[in-house]
Each structure stands twice: as structure tokens, then as C-alpha cells.
Amino acid sequence: ISEEERDEFDYRYPDGTVRLRNPHIELMDQDILYHLALGSESHDLVEMFGDVKFVCMGGTPKRMENFAHYIMKEIGHKLPTGTSLMDISQYSYRYSMYKVGPVLSISHGMGVPSIGILLHEVIKLMYHAKCKDPIFFRIGTCGGIGLEGGTVVISDDAVDGMLNNYYEVPMLGKLVRRPAKLDKRLVRELKALSDVEDPYDTVTGTTMCAIDFYEGQGRLDGAFCEYSETDKMDYLENLNKHGVKNIEMEVIPFAALTHHAGIRAAVVCVSLLDRLKGDQVCSPKEVMNEYQSRPQKLVAKYIKRQLQMK
């Protein structure tokens, strides 16, 4: 690990616990994590979450429930007898959250605002629970650029639809920018775990974060389209030239907010289709489900290795 890499993720207390860049929180009587249906006074967050080491996020509640069951099997975690896996945030009716020993599996919904709100609350959860050196993963889906459907992409950089590599948020009438940086060491470690025997490729590259699925990703099949197929192909080819390997909808806030909090994080997505060849997602359900298990396998392998090293 280089000096530069270390410096980037040192916004933590020496014991590895998460430090908040917000002086107001510790002055409050209680902090309600509204969209998680949790609170710092209503729940013993240290008792409930203090042992969390890995936070895995993905778009849909079902995928994250499946991941929770899968990781439970992989790390050999046993639930207390007579209990079953429960959605801790079910009464938020917003996100789903499952806990399997040191692993949290949480759905983030679609797009920048949805994952942004969740990240505020999960980063505060790490702080309240005094979690040490938690690592965040997004296991998701994407459209590939010049990559066959089923290819796994580990993001080593993030850009938005204008090729800017920062998260820009209007605050108090001003635009505030935060660099969208990912942990390069984590990228290397994940890449090294990919199996050459896999019947699909695992690549690293820049991921573009769109704020829309259709026109925001140059699709021709939305309800509206006022550009030509040539315009679309020129745009995608230009992205490709800039090293963009895939397009999804959350990487910018995910990279920027974890980095701002000093939390190591990685994004691993499976490409559902090659955007140079089409726009519609039309693989059969079984194929799609198998595709979606690929990022989960890689992240589970990483978690397993980390736990065995202890």
C-alpha cells in the first residue's frame, strides 16, 4: 500500500472507527435513521451492529436477501436456533437490510438520490455502532461497453455523463463537489480473486454513472428520443475511448461519500448487455439470475478470505 493510498483513507479514528464530518450529530439527544427504521436511542446500535465489517449494497431487496443467505452459507454463519433471517428495516418500507454476522446486506434502490440518502444513514450507523474499518461494496448490474453480457466489471474510476469525476450536489444554493474516488488496492485485491476458469471475463475500468436509464445512457428505446443512432454510437465510442467500460446509476455518490467518510469501498457490477449492440435488456430470467450471482461470488470470496485471515 502506497503512501498516497493510505492518505486517502485515513479520515478515521486511530482505532478504525468511523469519524463523522458533522459536528452536529454528537450534540443531538438522539439520531433517527429514518429510512432504515432505526434510532440511536430506540436501538442499542453498538450491540446490534458493532461487529459489522462488511456492508454490501445492491439495487433490489430480493437480490440482497439472496445475498444474505448466500454469504451465510459461504462464511458458515449460524443464526441463533429458532431464529430466521429478518429484514431489519422492513418498517421503513424504503430499504431492506439483513445482517449475517459481520456482513450487512442492504438494498439501495435505483439511482443517485436513493443511494445517497442510504449512504448518509449507513455511514452514521457505522459511527453510532462504533464499527471498526468497515468496507463497503456495491454488487450491481450495468450495461457494458464493448463487453459481452455476463462480464464482471470492477470499477477503478467513476465519471458522470459529462465525464466529470466528482459528485456535485447543490447545497444552500451553491454547487459543492466531492471527488469520486475508489480504493485502488481493493480493486487489485478483488481482481486477483477472479478465477481464470470462470466462463466469463472479470475486468477493471472506469464506470459511468448516469442519472437516467434511458436518455441519460444514450438509449434509443425510452419514451422520448431526440438524437439519432449515429449520435448514440458516437457518444458510446467516445466513452469507450476514455476508458469507460460500463454504465450504471450509483457509482458517483457511492465512491464520493465513502471516500469522504474515509471508508474503503468497491463497486462490482455484471454487465447485462453490450450497449454497442443494443439497448433492450432481454436475456431470459434464468440467465439474468446467474449473471447477477457473479459479482456476489467475487465479493463473498473476498469476505471469506478476510475472515479467514483473522
Convert 259-291 to b/e letters by CB count within 10 Å (16 or more is b). Answer: bbbbbbbbbbbbbbbbbeeebeeeeeeeebeeb
Q: Which stretch binds ligand R2B (CB under 6 A): 76-84, 187-195, 218-226, 243-251?
A: 243-251
Residues in binding contact with ligand R2B, number by CB under 6 A: 9
Q: Locate 288 and state its grid cell.
A: 439474468
Which of ligand R2B, ligand URA, none lies near 110, with the C-beta cut-off 5 to 8 A by kind?
ligand R2B
Which of ligand URA, ligand R2B, none lies near 59, with the C-beta cut-off 5 to 8 A by kind?
ligand R2B
Judged by CB under 6 A, the residue of 249, 252, 263, 298 near ligand R2B is 249
Tell which positions 97-116 bind ligand R2B, by CB under 6 A: 110
Q: Locate 158 and state its grid cell.
A: 467513476
Query: Binding string, 33-72, against ligand R2B, x = CB under 6 A?
Result: --------------------------x-------------
Q: Locate 181 and state its grid cell.
A: 474516488
247 near ligand URA, judged by CB under 6 A: yes
Judged by CB under 6 A, the residue of 74, 156, 160, 248 near ligand URA is 248
Which of ligand R2B, ligand URA, none lies near 31, with the C-beta cut-off 5 to 8 A by kind?
none
Conformational region of residue 31, where left means phi above 0, alpha means psi within -120 to 50, and beta covers everything else: beta
Q: What is the dihedral of CA 34, 119, 251, 200, to 10 degrees?
A: -90
Which of 122, 62, 58 has its CA nearest to residue 298? Answer: 58
Distance CA 94, CA 90 (A): 8
143 near ligand URA, judged by CB under 6 A: yes
Place of cell 463473498: 300
Tell which positions 178-217 bind ligand URA, by CB under 6 A: 213, 217
Task: Give me the residues that bind ligand R2B (CB under 6 A), please.
Answer: 59, 110, 140-142, 213, 248-250
